[in-house]
Structure 1
Amino acid sequence: MLVLAGRSPAEAADWTLEAFASERVAYDDNVGFTRTGEISDESSRTTLGFDIDGGTEVLDLSLVSRFDFTYYSDESGLDSNDQRLVGNFGYRPGELSRLGLDVEYDRDTTRTSEEDDTGRFIFDNIRREAFEVRPSWSYQATRVDRFSLAGEYRTVDYESDLVDYDRYGGALDWTHDLTRSSALGVSAFGARVESDTVDNRESDIYGLEFGLTSEATPQLRLQFGVGVFRAETATDLVAGQSTTGFLPSAGLEFRVAPEAVLELAYARTVAPSGGGNIVERDTVDLTYRQDWSETVSLGLDARYRAQDRVFDDGTAGRDFVRAEPSVEWRMTETWSLRAAYRYRWQSFDDEDGDSVSNAGLVTLTYRPMGWSLGG
């Protein structure tokens, strides 16, 4: 890891490389996530990945890569190979400022995107490519005040009738430390979304958010936020529409015991979708981790998401639930075994009935000892 104290710029160069390989076998009683005609199948997924971290006193860099290869026993049309590459670069021209550039590339399918895996494309493994770049600049104006300016460009392409879109925008943030354990933040943001629809839909989203974080106790960290947004959309064929709304958020991190941590977060977001429309999503995430012993850990990951239309454009509302309890056994320093049960449920407001999926997953992971190179 990066170590800076007590070293000259010429000496301060540390690099680490960590790699892993895993094999997951799964059984799902509704691989299509459909309301009717459920089909069960077994699958295997091989994952290869590596992480690189390094830097100097003025430069930091990290690279993350993942390569997934998924095969189904009976429904071979669902086989896929997915790639994910993430790069984070930072440069500090002075003690008070930092320039950053984050780049992300995903080449996957709609079945591996929780927003797009809706069961409406049964046994249609739709390829999706997403590229995102986020430049940023931050400045420590005073001992307690920080400013940051960030830009964003994201493009998503589907090999299907789903709607490609481009999103670009930016945000200006101010953070003020109230005390050593609490801070106040304000963010002004704006974005334009250009959807590749037959009528050339263009949407603008902008707003203002306020947030407060506080470490109430050494075991409890809280976060609260509220914001307002305005969204406008127009096409070549239909007169423009506009609407306003609120963006609430809240979260907590609670150390239940020295070996157990609970995290709970809620947020409302406004974002484009593969249907070509702007949607509003309310998301609640729950994460629980507990070390049962030195080698065994228990976990729970759960999510509830309600999606609704922002404009009167025919977008269907969707309720979605996912819960995944798990147990992990660290057999050695390099080998681990994880067993999990995954439950999924969803319902659309333009359909009768709902979809339910139950899956069992077992994952074997090998992580060799990391390599490091110091200057």
Structure 2
Amino acid sequence: MLCPKLSIRKHWAAVPLAVAVCTGASAANWEVAPRVQAGYRYSDNYRLDLPSQEVEVSGGEADVGVTFRTVDPRTNFEITPRINATYFPDEKDEDSTDYYLTAGFSDVTPRRRINVPFLYSDEYVVDSELPEAGEGGELGEPDQGDSGRFVQRNRRDFFRIAPSMSYDISQRYRMELNAHYLQADFENQLPGFQQDFSEVGAGAGFGFLTSPRSALLVRALASQYDTTTTTDAYGGEVEWNTQYSANSRAYVRVGAQQTKPERGSSDTNIIAGAGGQWASQRNTLFLDFTRSVGPVSAGTVVERHQLRLRIDHDVSQRFALRAGARLSRDEEIEDGSYPTREYAIGELGFEWRWLRQWSLIGTYNYRWQEYEDEPSDASASAFLIGIVYEPKRAQ
């Protein structure tokens, strides 16, 4: 059967139907979960500008998405198209309509695990360059790309795909293969601020199982970064990981990578990570510290130290508290035009579900950013309050 060719940017909303047809999903059990959110947003420094240059915004925000997922104990597919729109009556230049598409395929057997996550976004650079506390990628796989600098209104197209496979050769030995590709394209090229970049990489690992749930692996890594110049990178790492349960796991890794720009001298960088995610009946915790190398939208490659934290606590069946934080420090791998950047965001929120399908949400966040070449740091406070409608929510 021939599958239709799609342009993601123009026909992203048709992807769920195309994938269902191409994978013969008619025989699978499908679950459809719409989600509609409407609310009021305020920020006293929307673009995180320096003091005396702040742009204050307030107005409506709507977020609409629908998740299509298979219900199967072994093979699962999930895809979520989503639209987010803002309307600020006093600052209409800051209005935006952003488009997102997330998807994932997994196939798990007692000896083999295949996972293929995918992400696409078409968004205003305020959203792409100033990430939220709850964003940043999966455990041990931090997102890269934001540089936090603004000159004029701009938009970014971005997609990332990262297939991986692990296979237990025997009761004691395991093999892993992984790859990733990402591409960012800006509507306007702004040298030193927002420029197209891409990254392609692959890894291969081999190790042994220290217990039925834990493994020690050695990996070889290779990447290529394409910014204003091409940069090659090669390295290796050692990782220990364990799976406590279906929703709880932890890892520790350390390694080194040699990074060689097309023009310039090579640099050796330490890469590392440690963290875990744990879930109980009423609590979830996500904690991840990483030291990684990757491209950013300023047109260069940086070494990033990053800490991400998320805590969810269900006070009762109807009321829940949320908290999160994200702290990062970027340093260019060689002396150049990009200054050292520090960025932090902290967030507190709640959700009150007064009916099964309806809930009231509220969040407050505080952002802070500093570049070593600027006379001052910048900060911003913001809040959102809204109503969420989930017609297919089971409980």
TM-score, scaled relative to structure 1: 0.84
Aligned-residue offset at 1:101: 4.2
5 Å matches for 1:43-82?
43-54=59-70, 59-82=75-98
Contact residue 12 and residue 57 of structure 1 kept, 8 A: no
The answer to whether the aligner puts 1:277 opposite 2:300 as a matched pair is yes
**Counterparts of 1:27 and 1:224, CA distance in 2:** 39
Partner of 1:335: 358
Which structure dedicates a bigger proportion of its chain to strand?
A: 1
Contact residue 17 and residue 370 of structure 1 kept, 8 A: no
Structure 2 counterpart of 1:230, one-letter code: Q
What's the secondary structure of 1:247's corresponding residue? strand
Deviates further, 165-174 or 322-331: 165-174
Partner of 1:7: none
CA offset digits 1:267-306 (Å, max 9, x no partner): 1111101111001111111212212222111111111111
Query: Structure 1 residue aligned with 2:253, among 210, 214, 225?
Result: 225
Number of residue-to-residue matches in the alignment: 350
**Counterparts of 2:92 and 2:111, CA distance in 1:** 55
The answer to whether the aligner puts 1:134 opposite 2:162 as a matched pair is yes
- Are the structure 2 counterparts of residues 323 and 209 from structure 1 closer, same or farther at C-alpha, using a change threshold of 3 Å? same
The answer to whether the aligner puts 1:318 opposite 2:333 as a matched pair is no
Aligned-residue offset at 1:139: 2.5
What's the secondary structure of 1:111's corresponding residue? helix
Query: Structure 2 residue aligned with 1:178, among 199, 203, 210?
Result: 210
Query: Structure 2 residue aligned with 1:24, among 29, 39, 48?
Result: 39
Contact residue 15 and residue 53 of structure 1 kept, 8 A: yes
The answer to whether the aligner puts 1:213 opposite 2:241 as a matched pair is yes
The answer to whether the aligner puts 1:241 opposite 2:253 as a matched pair is no
- Are the structure 2 counterparts of residues 349 and 19 from structure 1 closer, same or farther at C-alpha, using a change threshold of 3 Å? same
Partner of 2:148: 118
**Counterparts of 1:24 and 1:155, CA distance in 2:** 32
Structure 2 counterpart of 1:118, one-letter code: G
Aligned-residue offset at 1:346: 0.7
Partner of 1:156: 184
- Are the structure 2 counterparts of residues 337 and 35 from structure 1 closer, same or farther at C-alpha, using a change threshold of 3 Å? same
Aligned-residue offset at 1:325: 0.9
- Are the structure 2 counterparts of residues 332 and 43 from structure 1 closer, same or farther at C-alpha, using a change threshold of 3 Å? same
Structure 2 counterpart of 1:284, one-letter code: L
- Are the structure 2 counterparts of residues 251 and 354 from structure 1 closer, same or farther at C-alpha, using a change threshold of 3 Å? same
Aligned-residue offset at 1:213: 2.8
Contact residue 31 and residue 71 of structure 2 kept, 8 A: no
Identity of aligned residues (%): 26
Partner of 1:4: none
TM-score, scaled relative to structure 2: 0.80
Contact residue 224 and residue 232 of structure 2 kept, 8 A: yes
CA offset digits 1:245-285 (Å, max 9, x no partner): 21121224467x86334432211111101111001111111
Partner of 1:295: 318
- Are the structure 2 counterparts of residues 40 and 264 from structure 1 closer, same or farther at C-alpha, using a change threshold of 3 Å? same
Structure 2: stretches of 5+ with no match in the other structure: 1-24, 132-144
Structure 2 counterpart of 1:251, one-letter code: G
Contact residue 110 and residue 116 of structure 1 kept, 8 A: no
Contact residue 147 and residue 296 of structure 2 kept, 8 A: no
- Are the structure 2 counterparts of residues 216 and 13 from structure 1 closer, same or farther at C-alpha, using a change threshold of 3 Å? closer
- Are the structure 2 counterparts of residues 194 and 116 from structure 1 closer, same or farther at C-alpha, using a change threshold of 3 Å? closer
- Are the structure 2 counterparts of residues 231 and 143 from structure 1 closer, same or farther at C-alpha, using a change threshold of 3 Å? same
Q: Over alpha carbons, which structure has the higher Rg?
A: 1
What's the secondary structure of 2:150's corresponding residue? coil
What's the secondary structure of 2:47's corresponding residue? coil
Deviates further, 30-39 or 359-368: 30-39
Structure 2 counterpart of 1:232, one-letter code: K
Aligned-residue offset at 1:88: 2.4
RMSD of aligned Cα (Å): 2.9
- Are the structure 2 counterparts of residues 55 and 327 from structure 1 closer, same or farther at C-alpha, using a change threshold of 3 Å? closer
Aligned-residue offset at 1:55: 6.2
Structure 2 counterpart of 1:166, one-letter code: S
**Counterparts of 1:99 and 1:250, CA distance in 2:** 23
- Are the structure 2 counterparts of residues 13 and 187 from structure 1 closer, same or farther at C-alpha, using a change threshold of 3 Å? same
Contact residue 203 and residue 221 of structure 2 kept, 8 A: yes
- Are the structure 2 counterparts of residues 322 and 291 from structure 1 closer, same or farther at C-alpha, using a change threshold of 3 Å? same
Deviates further, 319-328 or 285-294: 285-294
**Counterparts of 2:88 and 2:149, CA distance in 1:** 17
CA offset digits 1:94-127 (Å, max 9, x no partner): 9754655443321112111125472533xx3311
**Counterparts of 2:390 and 2:224, CA distance in 1:** 42
